[in-house]
Chains A and B, each alone.
Chain A
Amino acid sequence: MSQKELLSARELQITIQRLACQLIENHGDFKETILIGIQPRGKMLAKRLLNVLVQDYHISDIICGHLDITFYRDDFRRHEKPIEANTTEIDFVVENKKVVFIDDVLYTGRSIRAALTAIQDYGRPSQIELLILIDRRFSRHLPIQPDYCGRKVDAINEEHVVVSWKEIQGEDAVLLVNQ
């Protein structure tokens, strides 16, 4: 097993800062915008972005939730993904709001496809955007592309992108692992 560092702790912090700034350019005071982290791994990124927006740019009252897509997957019964569900926390209405999906790695696009279906159960957003930390381009199964992207990566199928967070794994890093 070999591994390569894609983003160091410092680079990860800078990337999150940039993504937050790009969000501010398009969403201003976030009055009509809702941030939604895709469970399980988008939740941490959404939390970090929210921290930057609140602490560094003093934008208050940003609505942020997280969405679990387990029951909406199209690979159920293919025994590829776990069937265990995570919590969904969306206690607000998404009707006519601008929704930003937040996830750590964009790979086949199937999770985002499932999220697009799942969010409809909470209303009809006026617009949906996608924010991704690591985009594994050339691996897509579906015509889905990010609106905001931290870093583009060319990786072969045997390689995995592993995002670790200080709060969970003890350190901030993005690694490319070859198994």
Chain B
Amino acid sequence: MSELSVNHLLGIKYLNEQDIQLIFETADQFKEVINRPIKKVPSLRDITIANLFFENSTRTKLSFELAEKRLSADVINFSASQSSVKKGETLIDTVQNILSMKVDMVVMRHPSPGAPIFLSKHINASVVNAGDGTHEHPTQALLDCYSIRERLGDVAGKKVVIVGDILHSRVALSNIFALKLLGAEVKVCGPKTLLPKHIESLGVGVESNIRKALDWCDVANMLRVQNERMITSYFPSTREYTMQYGLNLELLNSLSKDIVVMHPGPINRGVEITSDVADSNQSIILDQVENGVAVRMAVMYLLAAKINR
């Protein structure tokens, strides 16, 4: 009987390849479920899940909530902006109070890297990391790899370039871990100031020229420039960034093969990617969103299977 090797989804770093394959195979079946007239199964009808969002989110929060409801779980939502966190309550206190209301699983986004790991050591519930600062965003990486697998048949052996703000991106780090685990070749591309030092120690190539990077790859994952996390100036101007690292239709059409274009959203249209590319046939951005629900259903279903009553 196969099951996940972990009790929490804290990051891709803690998973092995079999875990990811099990999540993908389960997600295949949930994808069929969410395309039925009645898009709901009763698997988690005795499970209560708290969505704790200490940082803003649209897509991830909606996607998790929808996935939970499609699994028939009971859902409670919490956003830090409307809560007692503003009054000085600590993370542990906030979560312990919520757990006293008999919650089985916590989905958390937090601005501090490592917050879900800390939490998992102190509470008696499954923890799913929905993004912790600049550290990891495991479900995004899973859905990105799942979307690559869906479009190209497999992730192993594919060449993927991650373009943009690698320094501030939890999506980049989780993607690198997941892609490497599944046997893909990975390069990162961006201005030197937005590439972390020693990134090559993770086994990825570094390319500063976007044209060369795109010529090499099968898939380009275009990241958003995270202005909100930048305390100093990392490049002279947005216009210059776009000229050097933006993906436009002219550049895409000049490549020798059709590459797959991805973006984890939210898109800054006209900055890292132009509208005509984002809406082109080569873009799988909306497939990523749809797959996000199926992959998150699979993650929560498989974690719930490990909850002992």
Contact = CB atoms under 8 A, between A and B. Distances in A.
Interface of A: 68, 70-72, 76-77, 79, 81-88, 117-118, 120-123
Nearest to A79: B1
B305 interface: yes
5 contacts: A71-B29, A77-B304, A82-B1, A85-B25, A85-B29
Given A82-B1, A83-B3, A117 B42 contact: yes
Q: Chain A: interface secondary structure?
A: loop
Interface in B1-56: 1-3, 22, 25-26, 28-29, 32-33, 36-38, 40-43
Nearest to B26: A85
Interface in B261-309: 301-302, 304-305, 307-309
B33 A71 contact: yes
A121 B301 contact: no
A76 B41 contact: no
Closest 3 CB pairs of A and B: A71-B41, A85-B29, A121-B38
Given A87-B28, A87-B29, 10 more contacts: A68-B29, A71-B29, A71-B42, A71-B301, A76-B43, A77-B308, A82-B2, A84-B26, A85-B29, A118-B41
A83 B36 contact: no
A71 B305 CA distance: 11
Contacts of B3: 83
B5 to A, nearest CB: 14
Given A70-B29, A121-B36, A84 B301 contact: no
Contact of A72 (B28, B42, B301, B305): B42
Contacts of B25: 84-85
A122 B307 CA distance: 30
A81 B25 CA distance: 17
B42 A86 contact: no
Nearest to B42: A72
Contacts of B302: 83
Contacts of A68: 29
A85 B307 CA distance: 18
B22 A76 contact: no
A84 B21 CA distance: 11
Nearest to A84: B2
Contacts of B307: 77
Contacts of B33: 71
B41 A72 contact: yes
A68 B41 CA distance: 12
A79 B28 CA distance: 22
Contact of B29 (A82, A86, A123): A86
